[in-house]
Structure 1
């Protein structure tokens, strides 16, 4: 059954500096340790088991796990919270439930003081809520004003000191009893389990017996002793863990020192090897440079000798060419035909002289020109020539 929201209420989504509670994720074991998740599940199951009647108001529902469990058990649940991230998460969780369960769930982003101040709920649940209030008694009084006669007010809160950035007060069992008396409620159940107190208050006060001071004191002392024992056990565990980690750190430091010394020795060895390699390398470079210089000098000498030899060969070739020209000229001259005697019948123009006639113009008597140049070359003489010799 849905609860109407007054028209004067304005729903806003302020940016809260306090991170949203993650109780649904813790309930499923998705965060923190398995032991922490188990303790949270036990506390939520205890709250759900204390609910009575039909209509339940879950104040500070956070991610909505308790409201979902109650709706699955058949209760009509109105879940309210002021943290926008928590409300958004709860809305997604509610939408994932079966349609029948969804019809039993009503989610409102609002605080308790903004709800109609009139009875209407058989059970009001305040799971880890009052420690966030500067005046927890005012929140309990506002919850009682909306509780039906004979209804139940279920409260869970951290026992004593529980450091948290948004925790305003540290509470003891005596505080819960005094809060109940101040608003005319009877405390029917009061216990401390681990780090949390569990309390059931019933209206009116005559509905059940109130615990006396001695009982409250015994409960507080027992809870304090149990808390101290658990704290010392945790200290012992943490001390043992710290000792193991300290030993591991020392072993690691020793291994690190040994590894550092080994690395330094290797670095020194490598430095010596590098120095020796540099000396060897320099010597090899010097030897190669000397060999190269010698090879260059030898090559220069060979080049000079080759140049001189080439010059001699050129002179020899020139001399040989000149000799061949002379031989060719002599050979050409030796091919001229021998002179013939003049016939006896040839008259001599002058007495005492001999006239010799020879034939010139033979192809072998004159060298052929290397190229045709008829204009510059003289015409070949043909016919006969007469030479006169004195007798």
Structure 2
């Protein structure tokens, strides 16, 4: 099966568009702002941009991803960094479900990876087991419907509340990032007060949903305007074509009329000549049959005989 390649590094630097780059940076920077501790595990690190940014700040980071091409890109980009950053970051190609780690981490990052997993319970439980006590699990994932070919599930707030209930973690923060959601879990052996739906969280959830709905409505209105414009252009073109065809028909009809009129004039001339001929013929016959005509005829016959 052909690998679906990720371009998160290029997107971060706006090489895939400024608007898209801004959204990518917003999510990555939110992750960086919430990382605490020095030992970090970046699961599903892709091209390694988050790991590299943490390495620049002296964090010890392991980035893991199942994609060979992603790890190749990550190592390629890491070589462009200062030696101090390179010493802080290590990328490995591996399957998180199967990979063995000989240490626990202050922070485990699941940056836009859960939507690619079917068994998130086992996946999240392993992330929790690799997190130190009082450590963190930071998650970002698409919020709501996102029908990308490799996305296996849709996430809403309730899914993260369920993970909190079924694991030794509590939610510290929920951040709505446009069509993405960010959640910070803390590993808490004492399992203090767990976050539930409260008025503030409900308001922020509704605001996030309203923002997404507003974007969809704006997109629908924009597409409707474009559609009407295209339809108007097509209508104008059709009307112009109709006028051109009508003008062509009028031209042909005029040519036919002119030809008919010309033929009619010729016919009328022949008819007039025919009438004139009939009149002359009648006069001739009348004259020929008259007394004077008969005498004239005899005279001219006599002259012909005499000439012979």
TM range (shorter): 0.7 to 0.9
TM-fit CA distance, 1:259 = 11
**Superposition map of 1:1-391 within 5 A:** 16-31=1-16, 33-116=17-100, 119-204=103-188, 206=190, 209-215=193-199, 217-251=202-236, 257=241
* Structure 1 residues 244 and 184: alpha-carbon distance in aligned structure 2, compared to 1, 3 A threshold: same
Q: Deviations over 1:78-99 (max 9, x none)?
A: 1110112211211211111111
TM-fit CA distance, 1:133 = 0.9
TM-score by length of 2: 0.73
* Structure 1 residues 227 and 208: alpha-carbon distance in aligned structure 2, compared to 1, 3 A threshold: farther
Matched position secondary structure for 1:49 = helix
Q: Deviations over 1:169-199 (max 9, x none)?
A: 1111111111122111010001222101110
Gaps of 5+ in 2: 253-308
Radius of gyration: which is bigger? Answer: 1
User: May I ask how many residue pairs the two structures share in their alignment?
Assistant: 249
* Structure 1 residues 37 and 259: alpha-carbon distance in aligned structure 2, compared to 1, 3 A threshold: farther
TM-score by length of 1: 0.58
CA distance in structure 2 between the partners assigned to 1:205 and 1:252 by the alignment: 72
Q: Which has the higher contact order (CA 8 A, sep 6+)?
A: 2
Matched position secondary structure for 1:211 = coil
Higher helix proportion: 2
Matched position secondary structure for 2:97 = helix
Gaps of 5+ in 1: 1-15, 269-391
* Structure 1 residues 73 and 259: alpha-carbon distance in aligned structure 2, compared to 1, 3 A threshold: farther
TM-fit CA distance, 1:260 = 7.9
CA distance in structure 2 between the partners assigned to 1:100 and 1:197 by the alignment: 32
